[in-house]
Amino acid sequence: MSRTELAMGQVVKGAAIIIEATATTVIEPDWQARVSDQGNLILTRLCPVQRQLAIGTSVDPVMLEIFNKLFMSIAEQMGFVLQNTAYSVNIKERLDFFHPRACLILSELIANAPHIPVHLGSMGESVLSLVNNQAIKIEPGDVYLLNSPYHGGTHLPDITVVTPVFEQQQLLFFVASRGHHADIGGISPGSMPANSQSITEEGLLSAGMKIVSKGEFLEQQVREWLWHKHFET
């Protein structure tokens, strides 16, 4: 069936296949999918797992590896979408980007794709900096931008976009994307001057600016931030 034909609250029981423009969701027997108020597909098991197959508190190495691959595949798919939709050569051809998935409950990175490993050590800190920022009220439909090396960033051209994922007003986890941009201001083109003496000479700095509010892109605020340069390059 087509995803566009499903209404809010509709339940689809397996076995079934839901097709949409960017994905195909397979619902196995004994499972069902429900369309949430936010339009997400929530899959739940209808029949309990047999007791001898249930996972307890002990670590099952097989299941651990299965979920590891599942979470990593999400980050990899994020990378494919970014690469296929980007305009920048840095993203489409140089592949200078990185996608992790951060878990709020554990407050740590739980999965990442093998894009640019140099971002691995600091990416989780970028998400945590937003979580720990008391001045930021994270709400459904919001997206934040940051590139500050003091808040988990690398150099300023590497811009990180952090998106919280909600279900019924409950914050579940974050997904984040980081990509190298050709220029972010500063005293020289490329925003990587070898003779800079302060970070303001390297370009624009953000420690967590909201760029999408309740699903609406804040174009004017982003333009004002880009125009606010100490130096023209």
pLDDT by 10s per residue, the chain, length 233:
999 999 999 999 989 999 998 889 999 999 999 999 888 899 999 987 666 555 555 677 888 888 888 888 887 887 788 788 877 777 777 776 665 555 544 456 776 666 666 666 677 888 888 888 877 888 999 999 999 999 988 888 888 999 998 888 888 888 888 888 888 888 888 888 888 888 888 889 999 999 999 999 999 999 998 887 666 55
| Strand-pair partners of 161 | 145, 177
pLDDT value of position 99: 57
For the chain, give the longest Cα–Cα distance. Answer: 66
pLDDT value of position 221: 92
C-alpha 212, offset from chain centre: 13
Residue 203, burial from CB neighbour count under 10 angstroms (0-12, 13-18, 19+) = buried
Cα–Cα–Cα angle for 7, 82, 26, rounded to 5 degrees: 40
User: Domain limits of the chain?
Assistant: 3-49, 61-227
Q: Which residues of 35-58 are buried (b: 16+ CB within 10 A; e: fewer)?
A: beeeeebeeeeeeeeeeeeeeeee
The residue count for the chain? 233
Amino acid at position 103, single letter:
C
pLDDT value of position 106: 43
pLDDT value of position 89: 77
- Alpha-carbon distances of 222 from 138, 186, 198, 225, rounded to whole Å: 18, 17, 23, 5
Report the alpha-carbon distance of residue 143 to residue 120 in Å, rounded. Answer: 21
Contact 34, 44 (CB under 8 A): yes
pLDDT value of position 93: 75
Contact 127, 174 (CB under 8 A): yes
Q: How many CB atoms lie within 10 A of CB 80?
A: 11
Strand ranges, E, within the chain: 11-13, 16-19, 24-27, 31-35, 41-45, 97-98, 100-103, 108-112, 143-146, 158-167, 170-180, 209-213, 216-217
Q: How many CB atoms lie within 10 A of CB 147?
A: 27
